[in-house]
Structure formats: structure tokens, C-alpha cells
Amino acid sequence: MPLGEKNLPDAVRPGEDITLLVLSPDNEDAADLRRIFHHRDWRVVACREFSASDRLLRSASIVLCERDLPDGNWKNVLNSLSSIDNPPLLIVMSRHADELLWAEVLNLGGYDVLQKPFETVEVMRVVSMARRQWLSQSLAESPTTNATAAHPVF
């Protein structure tokens, strides 16, 4: 891959929904999450830098963000999400996840924290619950929602 392309986000067409946006400078994070969710009808998109994520954030329902990014951190992402109607839920991931990070993420409005390396069952549980909550909020905020419409969670 040419040097200038390594930090570009995956290609996403305007208006295309992203189930899970992975913001991490580590390509293995996105690869691991794609393996975990390979059998589901989920669109997993990766972006290595906060500065390249704006349009992607607006298309996602869940954002998994590394605690520290090359050009920002999870707090910058959370702040950016505050300007989006029906914003995606933010899950912070870190090798150094502890109770202080977890408390800070929850207190500032994030959804949860995931410890790396990932445990498949825990990732599926946390992300699925976040997706379910986001869908529920989306339906509640939509003025044209049909209460009897089927909306698959997975």
C-alpha cells in the first residue's frame, strides 16, 4: 500500500450505514472485530485517525475507539458525536482499561470500555447490547416510526 493511503478510512458511499466504526491506529483491531462479526449482517469500517472520521461518524451506529489516537483521543470523538442527530454510541477500547477509565467514559457519556486483547464473547455482548440500545433510541426519536415494524438487532 502506498504510504499516503495507509491512514485513509475504508471506502463508504454517502448515505451508506455503518454498523460498527473502528477508530484505531492498529489495523489488527479492525481485523479482530471483522473476525468476531464475520457471520453477522454487520458492516465494520475502520479508520486510523480522528481527523478522517467525521463523515464516517455520521453513518455509524456504534463507534469503537482506541483510547489514544494519533491525532486525538476518545474524548475528541465523544465531543464530535455531540453534534450529530441520533449519534452513535461510543465504546472505548484499551490495553490499559481500568476502573478509572471505565468511570470516566461512563460519566462523560460513553457507552462502555472493552479491554484488549479482545475476548470474543465479551465483545459480542457489549457491542450487541449497544446496538440494541442505539436501535431503540433511533426508533424512539423517529417521527415516522411504525411501532410494529421489524428491526433486526443483529
* Beta strands at 60-66 and 44-47: parallel, antiparallel or unpaired: unpaired
Q: Is residue 148 part of a domain?
A: no
Output the nine-digit C-alpha cell for 102: 471505565
Residue 5 burial (10 A CB sphere; 0-12, 13-18, 19+): exposed
Q: Output the domain CATH number for residue 44.
A: 3.40.50.2300
Q: pTM of the prediction? A: 0.81
Model pLDDT, residue 41: 76
DSSP character at residue 101: H
Output the nine-digit C-alpha cell for 94: 484499551
What value does the CA radius of gyration of the chain take, rounded to a whole number of Å? 15
Which range is most confident: 35-44, 63-72, 145-154?
A: 63-72
Q: Is residue 33 part of a domain?
A: yes
Q: Is residue 151 part of a domain?
A: no
Closest CA to 82 of 58, 113, 51: 58
- What are 100-140's pLDDT values in tens digits? 999 999 999 999 999 999 999 999 999 999 999 998 988 88
pLDDT tops 70 at residue 48:
yes
Q: Quickly count helices (H) and strands (E) in the chain.
A: 5, 7
Q: Is residue 150 part of a domain?
A: no
Q: What is the mean pLDDT of the segment spanning 14-39?
A: 85
Domain count, the chain: 1
Q: 56 lies in which domain range?
A: 17-141
Number of Cβ within a 10 Å radius of residue 84: 13
- What are 49-90's pLDDT values in tens digits? 999 998 999 999 999 999 999 999 999 999 999 999 999 999
Model pLDDT, residue 38: 83
pLDDT band at 42 (very low <50, low <70, confident <90, very high): confident
